[in-house]
Amino acid sequence: MKIAFMGTPDFAVESLDALLRAGHDVAGVFTQPDRPKGRGKKLEESPAKKYALEKGLKVFQFERIRKQEGLDALRSLAPELVVTAAFGQILSKKILEVPVYGTINVHASLLPRHRGAAPVNQAIIMGDEITGVTTMLTDVGLDTGDLLLKTETRILPGETAGELTARLAKLGAELLIKTISELEAGTLKRTKQDEAQATYEPMMDKNTGNIDWAKGPKSICDLVRGTNPWPGAFTYLHGEMLKIWSAAPYETEAAGEPGSVLLSSAKTGLVVACKGGAVEIGILQVPGGKQMTAKAYLSGKKIDIGTILGE
């Protein structure tokens, strides 16, 4: 089948690769424009663009594909089907009318739960035990189109958003190929979404990872996992940001006000009080420094018992 692909991050690359391996004719790849990254603000190509160029595919980059130039580019390819996977732009009605068979989106949640830009992160942050991938027929709404196929997976203990995204990318690629096969065979079924079950997750920003010590141990640890690798969970130590890359609930009879340090040494590690319990900090990072274990940090730095984090 002749396909126009739209995607940007590593999650999208798995689906693009699967399309090529399945023998589909990928007429072109639409991805986000190169963005400045790092301290030097050097322009960096998206993973999807890098992969597409390696495979000799046509690449199109528009700030807004909804504009006429984007529409004209898509029309020039005359695709039978459009496939999107974490593209990062909303498609207009005119764009959606171009492909004969419509637009199939690979979404990293069990829709209608976790619509929006950060489904993997929010599944972890909100304490879900089960998540998965859904293929859907895109309409003009935000992840509101008819459902096609789903596959489920259990969120593993300690799994970060980055690790889960990588797993879901592979599951999504497999599901995409199955979806297209059923489409070609004429056996693909569509199911309306239950709006009463829908949840919407807004785009994350750097403040998403700000730890609220007034929450419980599981909620805090889920936030740490759900914001790893971006934007990263953090708190403040004497007014200086302290990144927290791993944490676990800690059983202790000691108590203190939320955010107060209960244990602090190279031997015991760093344990912080929160609502209804405590959290042990596993890996942390100070501004300008490297990630390290809390015990390694405390072998050279002192944090007094009773110190309040978050201030």
Q: Which domains does the chain have, with CATH numbers?
A: 2-201 (3.40.50.170), 206-298 (3.10.25.10)
Q: What are phi and psi of 107, to 5 degrees?
A: -115, 135
pTM here is 0.96
What tens-digit pLDDT sequence spans the chain (311 residues)?
999 999 999 999 999 999 999 999 999 999 999 999 877 788 999 999 999 999 999 999 999 999 999 999 999 999 999 999 999 999 999 999 999 999 999 999 999 999 998 999 999 999 999 999 999 999 999 999 999 999 999 999 999 999 999 999 999 999 999 999 999 999 999 999 999 999 998 889 999 999 999 999 999 999 999 999 999 999 999 999 999 999 999 999 888 999 999 999 999 999 999 999 999 999 999 999 999 999 999 999 999 999 999 98
CB-based burial, 208-224: b 16+ in 10 Å, e otherwise: bbebebebebebbbbbb
Cα three-residue angle 216-245-229, rounded to 5 degrees: 110
Count of helices and strands (H, E) across the chain: 8, 17
**132-143 pLDDT tens trace:** 999 999 999 999
User: What are the φ and ψ backbone dihedral angles of 116, each rounded to 5 degrees?
Assistant: 105, -165
pLDDT score recorded for residue 39: 75
Going by DSSP bridges, is the β-strand pair 130-137/292-293 parallel, antiparallel, or unpaired? unpaired
CA distance 229 to 246: 11
CA distance 86 to 311: 36
